[in-house]
Amino acid sequence: MKPATLEFVKQRFAEYYQRQNLTIPSSLEQREWGFIFFDATGEVRMRRHMAFADREELGAYVKSLVPAHVYYSTAYYQTPSAPTMNEKHWAGADLIFDLDADHIVRGPYAMMLARVKEETEKLLAMLTDELGFARSQIRIAFSGGRGYHIHVTDITVRGWSSQERREIVDYVCGIGLDPATMLTPAGAPTGWRQRYVETLRAHLMGIAAREPAEATAYLGGLDGIGKRTAAEFLANIGSLAAGAPEDLLKNRVVRAITAAPDFEERLRDAGARADEPVTTDIKRLIRTPGSLHGGSGMRVVPLEIRDFANFDPLVDAVVFGDRDVRLDLKANFTTSLLGNTYSLNAGIQNVPEALAIFLCCRGMAEIAGGA
């Protein structure tokens, strides 16, 4: 950012923190804190290994120094301010899931936010309906950027190792599923058994819908499947797809299909696309609800499950006003904000303050005077 832009954004952040408080995590005194500050050089450096005795001390620090980003540890430590991880003495960690639209789809910002919300809804259903976590032990936060964080605060998960957390995230993402387990009858299919069978049947019908030569070439390219076997399989694919799951398991072409990368990717679509390294990291720093995201100017919004369906980040996470700000936009840009759609051309524009903060934080515009 240019100096005028940096000063504009920092002043607005300072005004926000003077009137708003952070949402404080449980066991505040056991959390490590980290901050990234506004820097005229554009260099990103985090100040971490910090601890606060109470919310007043933390609030005074944020109000005084006005960080661009505020993070706290998902872990609990005996000495959170110690300068090395070993000296902190890990004492457990919340179970965290991170869903970021960048890892799911690319496109207009509003579309990315809608898509990542769908993935978050899938994950919430898995956690409560299939894995048995109580809704009262689950917290949601819009990240302020392009996704959501899910915090499972149940005390029984705090001592879990990275490997135990890996098993959970593999489950929700549909990684490493065994076809023999998924297709073997075990009562009415539910959870991943149901998703697996439905995904496989849809995949088979997708193959059947291709041109015969294309479908035969695809099947013939699978490990151990020749053209003759592929042609025979295609002749019976419809009845096979409609048959019992155990019959699918017996067919060697189906077994080859389930090992193919494109089917594994389709399974990932059936699961929830959570960021695996975040969940397995037992010493992670994560954005603090109530803080502002320095890359968007939007609020990190804490949410209850009951409020999630009606949450609209392009309205509910916007904290700045609508007074005009004069910007120099670097390129043409279209976005939605506060219920309006803005189609802007490169060059000098007057835009509402909330949109100005968003564009400046994203590096898409600079202050052109009149702020």
The rounded distance, in Å, linking the Cα atoms of 210 and 341 is: 39
Q: Which tens digit of pLDDT belongs to each residue from 155-174?
A: 999 999 999 999 999 999 99
pLDDT, tens digit, 9 for 90 and up, residues 98-111? 999 988 888 889 99
State how far the Cα of 321 lies from the Cα of 349, in Å rounded to an integer. 17
Write b or e for each residue in 143-159: b if 16 or more Cβ atoms lie within 10 A of its Cβ, otherwise e: bbbbbbbbbbbeeebbe
Q: Is 316 a catalytic residue?
A: no
Contact partners, residue 343, CB within 8 Å, separation at least 6:
332, 333, 334
Catalytic residue among 275, 281, 322, 324: 275
**pTM (2 decimals)?**
0.90
Confirm whether 98 is a catalytic residue: yes
DSSP 339: T
CA of residue 332 relative to chain centroid, distance: 27
User: Residue 369: which pLDDT band, with cuts at 50, 70 and 90?
Assistant: low
Among the four given CATH numbers 3.40.5, 1.20.58, 1.10.760, 3.10.620, the one describing domain 1-15+319-371: 3.40.5
SS3 content of the chain, % helix, strand, coil (to 5): 45, 20, 35
Q: Distance between CA atoms of 255 and 158, rounded to whole angstroms?
A: 38
Residue type, 177: L
pLDDT tier for residue 67 given thresholds of 50, 70 and 90:
very high
Answer CATH for 21-173+274-311 from 3.20.20.140, 3.40.50.720, 3.90.920.10, 3.40.50.1000: 3.90.920.10
Q: Which of 144, 162, 143 is nearest to 93 (CA)?
A: 162
Residue 35 CA to residue 55 CA, distance in Å, equals 16
pLDDT band at 187 (very low <50, low <70, confident <90, very high): low
Matching residue, tokens 């603090």: 288
What is the pLDDT at residue 106?
A: 87
Q: Rounded CA gap, 99 and 279, in Å?
A: 10
d(CA 336, CA 180): 47
pLDDT at 371 over 60: no
Q: Give residue-wise pLDDT tens across range 286-337.
A: 999 999 999 999 999 999 999 999 999 999 999 999 899 999 999 999 988 9
Candidates 115, 81, 74, 102; CA nearest to 295 is 102
- Mean pLDDT, residues 279-290 taken together: 96
Active-site entry in 39, 54, 94, 100:
100
Amino acid letter, 187: G
Strands (E), 229-315: 285-287, 301-303
CA distances from 278 to 44, 164, 169, 283, 295 (A): 20, 13, 10, 9, 20
With 90 as the cut, is the pLDDT of residue 53 above it? yes
The active-site residue, picked from 98, 102, 307, 316, is 98
Catalytic site residue 100? yes
pLDDT of residue 13: 97
Domain ranges of the chain: 1-15+319-371, 21-173+274-311, 179-270
Neighbour-count burial of 38, counting CB atoms closer than 10 A to its CB (0-12 exposed, 13-18 middle, 19+ buried): middle
